[in-house]
Amino acid sequence: MRVAVVSAEAVPYSKTGGLGDVAGALPKALKKIGVDSVLITPCYLQTKGEYLWKLAIDDLWVDWRGLIYRAKAFYSEANGSPTFLIDAPEFFHRSSIYGFREDYERFAFFSHASILLLKRLGAPPDIVHLNDWHTGFAAVELARLSNYDPYWQKTHVVFSIHNLAYQGGFSLDELWKLGFGGEFEVNAFSFNGYASALKAGLVVSDVLTTVSRRYSLEIQTPEAGYGLDWLLRLRSNRLFGIVNGIDYEVWNPETDPNLPANYSKNDLSGKLICKRSLLESFGLPVDLEKPVFASISRLTAQKGIDLIMEIAGELLATGSYIIALGSGEWQYEQFWQRLRDYAPRQVGVYIGYNETLAHKIEAGADIFLMPSRFEPCGLNQMYSLRYGTVPIVRAVGGLDDTVENFNAVTLTGTGFKFQEFRADKFLEKIYEALFIYYDKELWRRLQLNGMNEDNSWENAARKYVQLYSMLKD
Ligand code: ADP
Ligand code: GLC
């Protein structure tokens, strides 16, 4: 089986969020279980030179809006699987990975170039696995090509939704300039008076997946469907929820090189060293008895920061520490900075993106806060489980699939989970967590329950293979 994974970001080449983690790890996990997988992703200005192992193709001619571009492709295996990085400076050498008015055009180019590149690489893939709106253009082009190009006739397309909130919208007038002028194509893209690359992907792909089971159900309702719930209901027999894994080599407290001390479920003493060092690095007075609450996230409404804002006063009143790492919307960045200024002996804040610090926080914290409004999967709650850091989550999407509420009688469960998006419900769980935290034996049990979970990619990759095989037969 030959599988090509196409993604706008992939670790370690590029990352702005969970999509990068997933697209980097899935092809590696597929390869490990014997699938011939290849990853296609852009080469950004931000992609480190050390990851570009060699120039594999220096004349990838891409016809584009009446011009011909000479793109290149670098080869690498830095993520643990064969990868081709499409290098086209006009499109990808920018100050950031996303955030430009013409993003739709940049990723339409990427989609088109990926298809040309795959054809250059030899035998056709059995499966092209596309991810999020950036690759919706490729889904439509592949649907068209399968009608007349023998090379593509046996290829099946899987389209994964990592976040339905990002739809890749642009003006319908642009469609023909991007090469999508046919009636079928215009219909596929058309959505409420504009063109949506995500919708097109959802319409034409053979199979749709989302990154958790619960999210696959939520997006079929008007509340979480972003106007596309009708389409997802229509295609529900082709829609599957496969919960993401996490990279057990990168996120492993036993070997993590970012930590001041390593630890395992048999000996958690290193975690206390991590906690001390974390508090010191933020210049906080060290009291190891007090719990450290942590948050790491993109600062957007999705992540439920509004709930944290509402309960911050009560949380500080418990005497706990709060450590936050994130960047994003101005009002949320302001909130964290103000909270730190208000309680500088209890709060540590880092506004920005910092991979090493994310590891240190996962290891040094006691409790991880993730009260998301919606969460297609979420990775940080799984990193937390692995690092013996207890997550408090809202029961949505992947958070619901991956965290089980702790029951102090049966001693089952891995974290704390509340249902409604309400500050009082969130606070109840915080108090419940604190109550258990101060009972050392119970807390240890809860930590170990989480550390014993298996959220490795191997499980998830096998489910993808089942799906691919179903299509292939
Ligand atoms: P999303 O993709 O919606 O942002 P996920 O939980 O799936 O949410 O993945 C987020 C990923 O990005 C995690 O690997 C997390 O550690 C990382 N991350 C988010 N914000 C930061 C930050 N400021 N610094 C470092 N890593 C971050
Ligand atoms: C998206 C979602 C997140 C998910 C990630 C990887 O960014 O917001 O919940 O974990 O994709 O699938």
Nearest ligand for residue 356 CA: 1
Q: Kindly list the distances between the CA atom of residue 34 and the CA atoms of 37, 104, 403, in Å, as whole numbers in the listed order.
A: 9, 35, 30
CATH value of 269-453 in 3.40.50.300, 3.30.70.2170, 3.30.413.10, 3.40.50.2000: 3.40.50.2000
Among the atoms of ligand 2, which is closest to the Cα of residue 19?
6
Class of domain 2-245+458-472: alpha beta
**Cβ–Cβ under 8 Å, residues 79 and 39:** yes
Give the Å distance between the CA of 361 and the centre of ligand 2: 20
- Chunked in runs of 10, what are the mean pLDDT values of the chain (473 residues)? 98 96 97 97 98 98 95 98 98 97 98 98 97 98 97 97 97 96 96 98 98 98 97 98 95 98 98 98 98 98 98 98 97 98 98 97 99 98 98 98 97 98 98 98 98 96 97 81
Tokens coding 295? 């948050």
d(CA 24, CA 245): 11
Q: Kindly list the distances between the CA atom of residue 360 and the CA atoms of 21, 258, 282, 294, 417, in Å, as whole numbers in the listed order.
A: 18, 7, 12, 11, 24
pTM greater than 0.75: yes
Give the Å distance between the CA of 325 and the centre of ligand 1: 10
> Given this chain, do its domains 2-245+458-472 and 269-453 carry the same CATH topology?
yes
Burial pattern 79-99, b for ≥16 Cβ within 10 A else e, equals bbbbbbbbbbeebbebeebee
Give the Å distance between the CA of 351 and the centre of ligand 2: 20
Nearest ligand for residue 133 CA: 2
pLDDT for 472: 83
Among the atoms of ligand 2, which is closest to the Cα of residue 372?
9
Decide whether any atom of ligand 1 lies within 6 Å of the 380 Cβ: yes
Nearest ligand for residue 397 CA: 2
Dmax (CA) for the chain in angstroms is 69
Q: Which of 21, 132, 295, 383 to mutate to test the pocket of ligand 1 (most atoms within 8 A of CB)?
A: 21
pLDDT for 473: 67
**Per-domain residue ranges of the chain:** 2-245+458-472, 269-453
